[in-house]
Amino acid sequence: MSDFWSMGGYARYVWPCFGFAGIVLLWNIWSARRHLDAAKIRAARALAMAASEAP
Amino acid sequence: MWTWFYKLASPPYVFGAAAALAPWLFGAAALAIAYGLIAGLGIAPPDYQQGEAFRMIYVHVPSAILSVTVYTVMAVASAVALIWRIKVGHAVAAASAPIGASFTLMTLVTGSLWGRPMWGTYWAWDPRLTSELILLFLYVGVMSLRSAFEDPARGDRAAALLAVVGVVNVPIVHFSVVWWNSLHQGATIVTLEGPKMPGSMLWPLLSMWLGFMLFYGAVLCIRVQGEVLNRERQSAWVREAIKS
State CA B230 to chain mean position distance: 22
Residue B51's beta-bridge partner residues?
B47
For B41, which residue in chain A has the nearest alpha carbon?
Answer: A4
Q: Is the ipTM of this complex over 0.85?
A: yes
Name the DSSP letter for residue B228.
H
Q: Compute φ and ψ for B47, nearest 5 degrees.
A: -75, 145
Answer whether A13's CB lies under 8 Å from B117's CB. Answer: yes
Topology given in CATH for the domain delimited by B12-243: Four Helix Bundle (Hemerythrin (Met), subunit A) (1.20.120)
Q: What pTM value is reported for the model?
A: 0.92
Residue type, B133: L
Question: For B60-74, B132-146, B176-190, B195-209, which range has the lowest pLDDT when averaged over its residues?
Answer: B176-190
* pLDDT bracket for residue B192 (50, 70, 90): low
Q: What is the rounded CA–CA span in Å between residue B94 and residue B147?
A: 10
Q: What is the pLDDT of residue B190?
A: 67
What is the residue-wise DSSP string for A9-39?
GTHHHHHHHHHHHHHHHHHHHHHHHHHHHHH
Provide, as residue numbers in chain B, all residues whose Cβ is less than 8 Å from the Cβ of A38.
226
Q: Is A28 on the interface with B (CB under 8 A)?
A: yes
Q: Report the gap between the CA of A55 and the closest CA in chain B (Å).
A: 17
Q: Are B51 and A35 in contact (CB < 8 Å)?
A: no
Q: Is A38 on the interface with B (CB under 8 A)?
A: yes
Partner-chain residue, chosen from B52, B59, B242, that has the shortest CB–CB distance to A18: B59
Partner-chain residue, chosen from B53, B227, B242, that has the shortest CB–CB distance to A10: B53
Q: Are B59 and A39 in contact (CB < 8 Å)?
A: no
- The residues near B52 (Cβ < 8 Å, ≥ 6 apart) are A7, A8, A9, A10, A14, B46
